[in-house]
């Protein structure tokens, strides 16, 4: 979480300097020696960096100093959130600061404090050999590095990568087909870039740059992290059709660009994808279908049923967004055969008139939807308790699977314990 | 003819996290339904059968003890032993399975089950799809008394087919088919609780439990009528249950207890041997001749022992005590039988029957039919030796620890239920905290105060279910000291399982179960004060030349009582607690029996019964001594007409409320476990009605019952108080006359008691003891006494006080010292100490004799290499250090030195930390403890101190007591509930706490009643780093008392 925020901040700081390194304890080192002039002086540069922080809602501290060690110390120990140490001041300007500001390990700091050596100044007064004999070379080195008496090489971050493909047209383009051809080409280029980097993406942005300087953007979400270029092109094309660009008269486009947002490392997904391909690619096909439907109808419009562990038929499944849904090979299995989901569940259980049943048994006939059905076979009883933790009434239902003379199967239940003598029966589902 | 049915597949909540009813509930419900018999078969366990057995006796229903065996490679089998020998085989099978498995589990094979099948009545429980029942052929050929096939209904829509299939299988093997309800609860209403148990077991919440829950609530007990209706067309299976049950003839009453035999030499009966030992020991106890009174008592008791055949029990205990004495382990018995003249003569207690007149029969009375009760306390550091002696002497087949059933308590019940119902963590924390703070179940107003909605359905359900769960057994744990020894194989009487501790085994029954079966156990307990007193006696003999024993310490010394009346009791056994210290000046004990009362009175029982104040008023002549009736005169004679002891309360139940002794016993036990409140309510009504019916006032009756309620789990009888009072007196005697001996022994027995070393040392110094600091050239591992001029010896603190210094390192330091260590490198080399150990010593200022103090010592230590010295280098002189330029370290401020001492030693001889922040405290408006002591009643005061003790006694209904300490003394703070609720965090987390409030004085007892409080711990932090605030380092914080 924190590392992510820091990475994003580092990303934003590229405009101040290309030399950025991660520092211990959620900090960044920015080597701005080359760029102070570009920004019109130290104070202006710091103000810009501070503004960047504020814009991201981060409350940070900044110190500008001769050495990374001194700058780090300043962010921990200086009284002001933004500090500039005078050039060439060595340890002097830091002497009142606590030893912790030197990036020493916590145990050593504790010991130094116990010995009364709790400031950088006090530490500076101890002969370096004595210090080294007790706290090792590291402590002495940190002190020297802060003072600028020893070099400190930093491990600079590599520049960030963007995945983007852009095509400029030599002349204005108006035709949809021409745009589609360009998009297909961009899709190939972008997919190649991603594949080469071992990355994938579920979010794309297509931008059409108009001759009048305006820009039309289309967002695309996909279910899959990796897609072959033709399919990406196809999905984008559908977006374009839905958005119907170019209807406005006299407007043409002079460039198209395609960007992959939120790229992810592909390694985790890959194994899955490969095995999917070998197993008849059911999963792949399903995902493609979902992608197609979502891009056409909108992500919210496509939903899949997902099974729920409940003994009540009406709670055996519920719909979730297809993009988060279960893979299609998830079968609707119940621990006991008798709990198999019925073929067709009625919207609501419908009360029926029923013949008085023998004690504990099913009725001989029922009248349902104005038809009288004689029942000739029955299987049961199956008793299910109401889900009391949902605040439902106590008691439960007794289910019977019955078959009428025409061989139609119905799922009947009555309430348990019977509410009154002629306890009511309900039809809840048609069974297989 | 009325239909008849016996239930043979019922499990109780001793099938942990499965069964949802108590064994007694199962049995009572079975009786209510008119069943012919009920068998209890818990999963691989017989832990619940004794409770069911007792309940069945009361309900008048025939009961079959059994177990539901779950072999790793076969179906579940309900096993009911047909006779005593078969019971023995069942126990051995379970022992086999439990001893090889982890605690709480049981692992055996079908083959092993078959090998123990002789004489068993077995019912095989079929799987849900009974096409094939693996192992059935082997079970039918295992030579069991009888084998049947259980036929449970599942109500999953397929019962009819399943039943047909089972009938076919039974026919094929020619075994009977037996109808069973397969009940996990006594009534269907327990289903929600059963669901919660499932969630707890599976670690899921109710919303995600899904198919892990049972579909319906059908697994409950049913009447014969109902069973016949359900098994229509298969009625013979219902009838068969009856025949099966009738054939099982074993009853737990057959488990008669037999004592170990070996203590008796040839030619003696056990009774004769006990008599001979008793008279011989009596002659030693009374060298000037046995007093007539004692002689008479001993004769009478021996006769009673012969009548009841208890001689083996006394011999068993005598054997333990004799072994302890031989090994130099101090011990003392307590309990009704322990206070007998026989036990005094045998050296089991030090309560001299000649000098002390106890109210109660010093013995078991023959009419109560109660087994004798003797607990023996041993030195806490050496109790394990005694336990291992028992195992050695009787073998693991014949000796075991008794179990303690760990029950769900309100807090754990609420937490687990809440978790199962998916309540958010914040709510759970709030509720759990509430139960601690208020000592009660959260009611509606409290819930609202916590910001919870009492009408919220989930919360409501959680509270209701948690209330049901309270009192459920959670698991079996080893009793702290209860041991059972038998003459025959113990594992043929009861299964033996591994306990959590290595080298311990425990049986499946607890002490109530054993009592109910008339099996005797001995409590082998650990007591820190005995360790301390043994060390006191040793030191006294060595340094003062006075060889004494517990029994020969000069009795009834008025100076000792004077000291106790002043509440000068830090370290004294039992009366050192805050409540006791407050009580001492009001009680003003003047004789031994006063101490007996003192020990028993400041406890929840008498406090909840509001008996304390009436007793004090009568004691000080402010109220006439009256007896509620003549029949109670005898019961209450010694306590001025006010019931204080548990025996008195129980006698009142019998004498004044018309309970039978057995009922009184049931009453006592129902209080001991957190049973459902229904039982308690029924007892209360009967008790109060019984007393008012006999002409006692309603108010007195209710107070008596409240008192019994208050005894709860920790009832305190006179017979125990008397033995404890001996230790109170002995420790007070040492404190009064040999404070240096007492402090030294106390420090060497830590951890124990109420106070940390800092308070013990402070108290010793206030009593004129010269305490010397730890030093590598003078200290032993333990604290020692050393000659100090002509006066009393000085107390030299031992290396054991140095935190972080291991016992082995300290031992080497002392062993290699010879004429002393000249410098740190030679200490390091000779005692082979690593740098960590040396740092600990430096911080503890243990190098003063080398003229290295504080920072300087640490500076020198830091220069040494990490790790232990290598012998080869040392010999070659390779580890010598070059000279170095001396470094100037900043001077250590005195406040910091004191705080460092606290960090390194837990105490400081240089001063009190508060003395160094006195100026800042003054600026904040805080005075000293001494100022509070001098303030008048009603004065407003402010004081600050280190928090020594925080207490929230259950009997005090949410009131919290604090003890604060500063450089001038201690302040006792009372925090009323509302103030506590507002300041909970401050109060619980502060090291240094400031309190403002009003002074209350009563007699010599002074309290500061808190109105506001403030966390001042930062002052100490600032003290330790006076120049620069350290943002990242953890501060050394003085360890303070017990929270």
The pLDDT tens digits of the residues spanning B918-970 come to 988 999 999 999 998 888 888 999 999 988 878 776 656 678 888 898 999 88
For residues A343 and A231, membership in a common domain is answered with: no
The reply to whether A317 falls in a domain is no
For residues A143 and A7, membership in a common domain is answered with: yes
Average pLDDT value for residue range B141-156: 92
Per-residue tokens: B426? 């914040």
Average pLDDT value for residue range B805-818: 92
The reply to whether A302 falls in a domain is no
Could B218 and A379 be called an inter-chain contact, meaning their C-beta atoms sit closer than 8 Å? no
Nearest chain A residue to B217 by CA: give it: A385
Percent of chain A past pLDDT 90, that is, above it, reads: 7
Picking from B207, B889, B1031, the nearest residue to A100 by CB comes out as: B1031
Banded pLDDT at A244 (limits 50, 70, 90): low
Minimal C-alpha gap between A405 and chain B (Å):
21
The reply to whether A397 falls in a domain is yes
Instruction: Give the CATH number, domain containing residue A176.
Output: 3.30.1490.100
Minimal C-alpha gap between B15 and chain A (Å):
23
Nearest chain B residue to A399 by CA: give it: B157
Structurally, chain A folds into a number of domains equal to: 3
Q: What is the pLDDT of residue B18?
A: 94
Q: CB pairs below 8 Å between A and B: how many?
A: 126
For residues A16 and A60, membership in a common domain is answered with: yes
Banded pLDDT at B746 (limits 50, 70, 90): very high
Banded pLDDT at A407 (limits 50, 70, 90): confident
Q: What is the pLDDT of residue A273?
A: 45
Nearest chain B residue to A358 by CA: give it: B229
Give the residue, B679 or B999, on which the prediction is more confident.
B999
**How many other C-beta atoms can be found within 10 angstroms of the C-beta atom of residue B907?**
22
Which domains are present in chain B? Answer: 6-186+221-254 (3.20.20.140), 270-405+477-527 (3.30.1900.20), 550-727 (no CATH), 739-881 (1.10.150), 912-1024 (2.40.50.140)
Q: What is the pLDDT of residues A90-118, one digit of tens each?
A: 788 888 898 888 888 888 888 888 888 88
Could A379 and B457 be called an inter-chain contact, meaning their C-beta atoms sit closer than 8 Å? no
Contacts of B207 in chain A (CB under 8 A): 389
The reply to whether A126 falls in a domain is yes
Banded pLDDT at A169 (limits 50, 70, 90): confident
Percent of chain B past pLDDT 90, that is, above it, reads: 44
The reply to whether A19 falls in a domain is yes
Contacts of B191 in chain A (CB under 8 A): 385, 388
Give the residue, B848 or B647, on which the prediction is more confident.
B848
- For residues B428 and B210, give the distance between their C-alpha atoms in angstroms, rounded to a whole number: 23
Name the most confidently modeled range: A37-51, B469-483, B732-746, B854-868: B732-746
Q: What is the pLDDT of residue B421?
A: 93
Minimal C-alpha gap between A24 and chain B (Å):
14
B456-483: buried (b, 16+ CB within 10 Å) or exposed (e) per residue? Answer: eebbebbbebbbbbbbbbbebbbbebbb
Please state whether the predicted TM-score (pTM) of the whole model is above 0.80: no
For residues A143 and A168, membership in a common domain is answered with: no
Instruction: Give the CATH number, domain containing residue A52.
Output: 1.10.150.20
Is residue B885 over pLDDT 80? Answer: no
Per-residue tokens: B117? 């099948």
Q: What is the pLDDT of residue A200?
A: 83
Banded pLDDT at B502 (limits 50, 70, 90): confident
Nearest chain B residue to A391 by CA: give it: B457
Could A106 and B1030 be called an inter-chain contact, meaning their C-beta atoms sit closer than 8 Å? no
Please name the helix (run of DSSP H) or strand (run of DSSP E) that holds residue A385, with its range, or none.
Answer: strand A371-385
Is residue B900 over pLDDT 80? Answer: yes
Nearest chain B residue to A76 by CA: give it: B1031
Could A309 and B209 be called an inter-chain contact, meaning their C-beta atoms sit closer than 8 Å? yes
Picking from A96, A133, A337, the nearest residue to B863 by CB comes out as: A133
Tell me how long chain B is: 1043
Banded pLDDT at B678 (limits 50, 70, 90): low
Picking from B458, B884, B1027, the nearest residue to A130 by CB comes out as: B884
Q: Which domain holds residue A257?
A: 164-268
**How many other C-beta atoms can be found within 10 angstroms of the C-beta atom of residue B1017?**
17
Banded pLDDT at B707 (limits 50, 70, 90): confident
Is residue B647 over pLDDT 90? Answer: no
Minimal C-alpha gap between B241 and chain A (Å):
23
Could A125 and B888 be called an inter-chain contact, meaning their C-beta atoms sit closer than 8 Å? yes
Banded pLDDT at A137 (limits 50, 70, 90): confident
For residues A141 and A46, membership in a common domain is answered with: yes
Closest CA to B727 of B323, B318, B378: B378
- Say which residue the tokens 């079966």 belong to: B517
Closest CA to B776 of B827, B829, B832: B827
Contacts of B458 in chain A (CB under 8 A): 389
- Say which residue the tokens 């604290």 belong to: B783
Q: What is the pLDDT of residue B1027?
A: 37
Q: What is the pLDDT of residue B1029?
A: 36
Name the most confidently modeled range: A91-105, B270-284, B848-862, B903-917: B270-284
Helix (H, G, I), strand (E, B) or coil at B506: strand
For residues A8 and A60, membership in a common domain is answered with: yes
Closest CA to B517 of B402, B391, B430: B402
Q: What is the pLDDT of residue B1024?
A: 55
Minimal C-alpha gap between A389 and chain B (Å):
7
Minimal C-alpha gap between A82 and chain B (Å):
18
Could A115 and B1025 be called an inter-chain contact, meaning their C-beta atoms sit closer than 8 Å? no
- For residues A173 and B126, give the distance between their C-alpha atoms in angstroms, rounded to a whole number: 78
- For residues B755 and B773, give the distance between their C-alpha atoms in angstroms, rounded to a whole number: 19
Contacts of B128 in chain A (CB under 8 A): 336
Q: What is the pLDDT of residues B571-598, one digit of tens each?
A: 999 998 878 888 898 899 999 999 999 9
Is residue B368 over pLDDT 70? Answer: no
Could A384 and B211 be called an inter-chain contact, meaning their C-beta atoms sit closer than 8 Å? no
Average pLDDT value for residue range B973-991: 84
Q: What is the pLDDT of residues A304-321, one digit of tens each?
A: 877 778 888 888 878 887
Is residue B709 over pLDDT 70? Answer: yes
Contacts of A112 in chain B (CB under 8 A): none
For residues A354 and A426, membership in a common domain is answered with: yes
Give the DSSP letter of residue B360: S
Strand ranges inside A36-163, DSSP E: 62-64, 82-84
Least confident of B344-358, B412-426, B992-1006: B344-358
For residues A106 and A211, membership in a common domain is answered with: no
Minimal C-alpha gap between B862 and chain A (Å):
5
Give the mutation candidate from B189, B215, B468 for the A interface (greatest A CB count, under 10 A): B215
Q: What is the pLDDT of residue B311?
A: 87
The reply to whether A367 falls in a domain is yes
**Torsion region of B234: left, alpha or beta (phi above 0 gives left; psi -120 to 50 gives alpha):** alpha
Banded pLDDT at B116 (limits 50, 70, 90): very high
- For residues B224 and B242, give the distance between their C-alpha atoms in angstroms, rounded to a whole number: 10
Assess contact for A218 and A240: CB atoms under 8 A: yes
Minimal C-alpha gap between A73 and chain B (Å):
12
Could A385 and B900 be called an inter-chain contact, meaning their C-beta atoms sit closer than 8 Å? no
For residues A127 and A180, membership in a common domain is answered with: no
Q: What is the pLDDT of residue A338?
A: 47
Minimal C-alpha gap between A420 and chain B (Å):
19
Banded pLDDT at A198 (limits 50, 70, 90): confident
Could A115 and B457 be called an inter-chain contact, meaning their C-beta atoms sit closer than 8 Å? no
Name the domain boundary from A89, A119, A147: A147
Nearest chain A residue to B901 by CA: give it: A114
Contacts of B216 in chain A (CB under 8 A): 311, 383-385, 396
Is residue A328 over pLDDT 70? Answer: no
For residues A250 and A179, membership in a common domain is answered with: yes
The reply to whether A47 falls in a domain is yes
Banded pLDDT at B562 (limits 50, 70, 90): very high
The reply to whether A104 falls in a domain is yes
Q: Does residue A207 have a cis peptide bond before it, meaning omega lies within 30 degrees of 0?
A: no
For residues A9 and A126, membership in a common domain is answered with: yes
Contacts of B465 in chain A (CB under 8 A): none
Contacts of A338 in chain B (CB under 8 A): 156-158
Q: What is the pLDDT of residue A334?
A: 52
Banded pLDDT at A277 (limits 50, 70, 90): very low
Residues forming beta bridges with residue B179, ordered by sequence position: B151
Name the domain boundary from A243, A268, A293: A268
Q: Rounded mean pLDDT of chain A?
A: 81
Is residue B1028 over pLDDT 60? Answer: no
Q: Rounded mean pLDDT of chain B?
A: 86
Q: What is the pLDDT of residue B668?
A: 77
Banded pLDDT at A284 (limits 50, 70, 90): low
Name the domain boundary from A268, A301, A328: A268
For residues A179 and A116, membership in a common domain is answered with: no
Assess contact for B190 and B19: CB atoms under 8 A: no
Give the residue, A49 or B263, on which the prediction is more confident.
A49
């Amino acid at each position: 979480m924190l590392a992510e925020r820091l990475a994003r901040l580092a990303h934003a700081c590229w405009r101040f300097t290309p030399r950025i390194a991660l520092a211990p304890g959620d900090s960044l080192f920015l080597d701005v020696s080359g760029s102070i002039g570009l920004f019109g002086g130290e104070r202006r540069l710091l103000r810009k960096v501070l503004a960047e922080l504020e814009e991201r809602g981060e409350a940070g501290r900044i110190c500008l100093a001769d050495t990374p060690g001194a700058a780090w110390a300043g962010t921990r120990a200086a009284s002001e959130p933004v500090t500039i140490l005078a050039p060439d001041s060595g340890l002097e300007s830091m002497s009142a600061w606590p030893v912790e500001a030197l990036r020493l390990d916590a145990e050593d700091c504790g010991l130094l404090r116990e010995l009364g050596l709790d400031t950088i100044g006090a530490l500076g007064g101890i002969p370096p050999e004595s210090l080294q004999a007790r706290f090792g070379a590291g402590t002495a080195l940190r002190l020297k590095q802060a003072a600028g008496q020893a070099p400190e090489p930093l491990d600079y971050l590599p520049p960030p990568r963007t995945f983007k493909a852009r095509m400029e047209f030599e002349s204005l383009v108006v035709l949809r087909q021409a745009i589609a051809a360009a998009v297909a080409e961009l899709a190939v280029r972008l997919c190649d870039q991603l594949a080469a980097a071992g990355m994938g993406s579920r979010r794309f942005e297509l931008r059409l740059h108009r001759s009048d300087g305006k820009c039309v953007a289309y967002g695309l979400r996909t279910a899959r992290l990796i897609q072959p270029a033709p399919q990406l092109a196809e999905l984008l094309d559908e977006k374009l059709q839905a958005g119907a660009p170019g209807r406005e008269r006299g407007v043409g486009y002079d460039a198209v660009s395609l960007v992959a947002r939120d790229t992810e490392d592909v390694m985790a997904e890959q194994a899955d994808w490969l095995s999917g391909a070998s197993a008849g690619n059911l999963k792949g096909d399903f995902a493609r279908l979902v992608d197609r439907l979502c891009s056409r109808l909108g992500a919210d419009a496509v939903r899949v049923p997902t099974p729920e562990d409940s003994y009540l038929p009406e709670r055996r499944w519920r719909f979730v967004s297809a993009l988060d849904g279960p893979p299609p090979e998830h079968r609707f299995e119940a621990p006991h055969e008798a709990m198999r989901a019925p073929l067709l569940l009625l919207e609501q259980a419908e009360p029926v008139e029923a013949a008085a049943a023998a004690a504990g048994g099913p009725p001989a006939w029922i009248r349902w939807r104005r038809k009288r059905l004689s029942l000739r076979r029955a299987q049961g009883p199956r008793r299910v308790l109401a889900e009391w933790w949902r605040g439902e009434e106590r008691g439960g239902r007794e289910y019977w699977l019955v078959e009428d003379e025409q061989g139609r199967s119905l799922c009947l239940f009555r309430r348990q314990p019977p509410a009154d003598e002629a306890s009511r029966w309900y039809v809840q589902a048609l069974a297989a | 003819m009325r239909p008849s049915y016996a239930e043979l597949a019922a499990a109780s909540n001793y099938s942990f996290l499965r069964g949802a009813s108590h064994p007694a509930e199962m049995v009572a419900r079975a009786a209510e339904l008119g069943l012919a018999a009920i068998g209890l078969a818990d999963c691989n366990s017989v832990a619940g059968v004794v409770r069911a057995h007792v309940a069945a006796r009361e309900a008048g229903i025939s009961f079959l003890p059994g177990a539901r065996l779950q072999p790793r490679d076969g179906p579940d089998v309900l096993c009911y032993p047909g006779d005593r020998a078969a019971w023995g085989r069942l126990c051995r099978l379970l022992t086999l399975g439990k001893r090889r498995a982890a605690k709480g589990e049981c692992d055996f094979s079908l083959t092993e089950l078959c090998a123990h099948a002789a004489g068993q009545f077995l019912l095989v429980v079929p799987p849900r799809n009974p096409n094939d029942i693996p192992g059935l052929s082997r079970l039918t050929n295992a030579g069991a008394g009888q084998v049947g096939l259980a036929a449970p209904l599942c109500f999953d829509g397929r019962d009819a087919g399943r039943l047909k299939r089972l009938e076919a299988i039974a026919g094929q093997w020619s075994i009977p088919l037996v109808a069973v309800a397969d009940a996990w609860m006594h009534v269907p209403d327990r289903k929600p609780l059963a669901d919660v148990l499932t969630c707890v077991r599976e670690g899921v919440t109710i919303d995600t439990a899904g198919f892990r829950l049972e579909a319906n609530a059908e697994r409950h007990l049913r009447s014969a009528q109902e069973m016949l209706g359900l098994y229509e067309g298969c009625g013979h299976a219902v009838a068969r249950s009856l025949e099966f049950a009738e054939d099982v003839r074993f009853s737990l009453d057959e488990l008669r207890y037999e004592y170990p035999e070996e203590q008796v030499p040839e030619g003696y009966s056990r009774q004769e041997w006990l008599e001979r030992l008793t008279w011989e020991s009596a002659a030693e106890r009374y060298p000037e001749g046995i007093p007539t009174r004692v002689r008479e008592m001993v004769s009478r008791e021996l006769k009673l022992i012969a009548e009841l055949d208890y001689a083996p029990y006394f011999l068993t205990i005598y054997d333990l005590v004799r072994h302890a004495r031989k090994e130099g382990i101090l011990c003392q018995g307590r309990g009704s039988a322990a206070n007998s003249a026989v036990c005094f003569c045998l050296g089991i207690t030090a309560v001299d029957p000649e000098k002390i007149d106890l109210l109660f029969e010093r013995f078991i009375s023959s009419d109560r039919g109660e087994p004798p009760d003797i607990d023996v306390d041993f030195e806490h550091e050496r109790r394990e030796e005694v336990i291992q002696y028992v195992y050695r002497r009787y073998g693991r087949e014949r000796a075991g620890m008794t179990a303690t059933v760990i029950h769900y308590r309100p807090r754990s019940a609420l937490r687990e239920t809440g978790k199962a119902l998916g309540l958010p963590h914040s709510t759970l924390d709030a509720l759990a905290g509430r139960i601690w703070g208020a000592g009660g179940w959260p009611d509606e107003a409290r819930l609202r105060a916590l910001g919870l909605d009492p009408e919220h359905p989930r919360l409501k359900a959680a509270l209701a279910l948690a209330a049901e769960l309270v009192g459920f057994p959670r698991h079996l744990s080893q009793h702290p000291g209860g041991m059972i020894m038998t003459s025959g194989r113990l594992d043929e009487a009861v299964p033996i399982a591994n306990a959590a501790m290595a080298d311990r085994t425990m049986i499946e029954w607890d002490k109530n179960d054993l009592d109910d079966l008339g099996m005797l156990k001995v409590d082998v307990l650990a007591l820190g004060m005995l360790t301390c007193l043994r060390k006191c006696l040793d030191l006294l003999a060595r340094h003062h030349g006075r060889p004494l024993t517990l029994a020969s310490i000069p009795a009834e010394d008025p100076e000792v009582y004077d000291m106790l009346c002043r509440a000068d009791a830090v370290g004294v056994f039992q009366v050192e607690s805050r409540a006791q210290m407050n009580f001492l000046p009001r009680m003003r004990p003047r004789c031994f029996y006063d101490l007996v009362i003192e020990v028993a009175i400041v406890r929840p029982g008498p406090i909840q019964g509001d008996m304390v104040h009436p007793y004090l008023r009568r004691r000080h002549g402010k109220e006439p001594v009256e007896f509620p009736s003549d029949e109670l005169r005898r019961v209450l004679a010694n306590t001025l007409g006010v019931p204080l002891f548990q025996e008195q309360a129980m006698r009142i139940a019998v004498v004044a409320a018309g309970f039978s002794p057995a009922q009184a016993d049931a009453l006592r036990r129902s209080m001991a476990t957190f049973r459902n409140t229904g039982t308690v309510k029924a007892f209360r009504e009967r008790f109060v009605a019984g007393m008012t019916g006999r002409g006692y006032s309603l108010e007195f009756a209710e107070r008596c019952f409240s008192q019994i309620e208050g005894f709860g789990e920790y009832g305190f009888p006179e017979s125990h108080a008397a033995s404890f009072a001996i230790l109170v007196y002995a420790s007070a005697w040492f404190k009064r006359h040999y404070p240096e001996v007492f402090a030294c022994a106390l420090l060497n027995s830590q951890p124990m008691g109420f106070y940390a070393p800092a308070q013990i040392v402070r108290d010793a110094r206030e009593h004129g003891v010269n305490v010397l600091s730890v030093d590598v050239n003078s200290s032993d591992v333990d604290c020692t006494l050393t000659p100090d001029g002509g006066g009393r010896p000085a107390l030299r603190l031992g290396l054991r006080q140095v935190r972080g210094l291991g016992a082995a390192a300290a031992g080497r330091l002392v062993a290699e010292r010879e004429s002393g260590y000249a410098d740190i490198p030679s200490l390091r080399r000779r005692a082979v100490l690593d740098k960590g150990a040396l740092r600990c010593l430096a911080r503890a200022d243990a190098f003063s004799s080398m003229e290295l103090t504080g920072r300087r010592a640490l500076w020198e230590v830091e220069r040494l290499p990490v790790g232990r010295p290598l012998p080869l280098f040392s010999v070659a002189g390779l580890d010598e250090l070059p000279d170095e330029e001396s470094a100037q370290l900043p001077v250590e401020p005195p406040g910091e030195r004191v705080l460092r001492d606290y960090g390194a030693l837990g105490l400081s001889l240089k001063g009190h930390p508060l003395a160094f922040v006195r100026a800042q405290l003054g600026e904040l408006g805080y005075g000293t403890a001494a100022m509070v002591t001098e303030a008048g009643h009603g004065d407003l005061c402010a004081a600050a101190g280190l928090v020594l003790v925080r207490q929230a006694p259950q009997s005090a209904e949410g009131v919290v007591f604090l003890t604060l300490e500063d450089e001038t003394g201690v302040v006792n703070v009372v925090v009323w509930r509302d103030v506590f609720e507002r300041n909970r965090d401050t109060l619980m987390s502060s090291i240094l706490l400031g309190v403002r409030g009003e002074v209350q004085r009563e007699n010599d007892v002074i309290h500061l009643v808190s109105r506001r409080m403030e966390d001042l711990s930062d002052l100490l932090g600032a003290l330790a780093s006076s120049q620069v605030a350290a943002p990242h380092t953890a501060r050394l914080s003085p360890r303070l008392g017990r929270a």
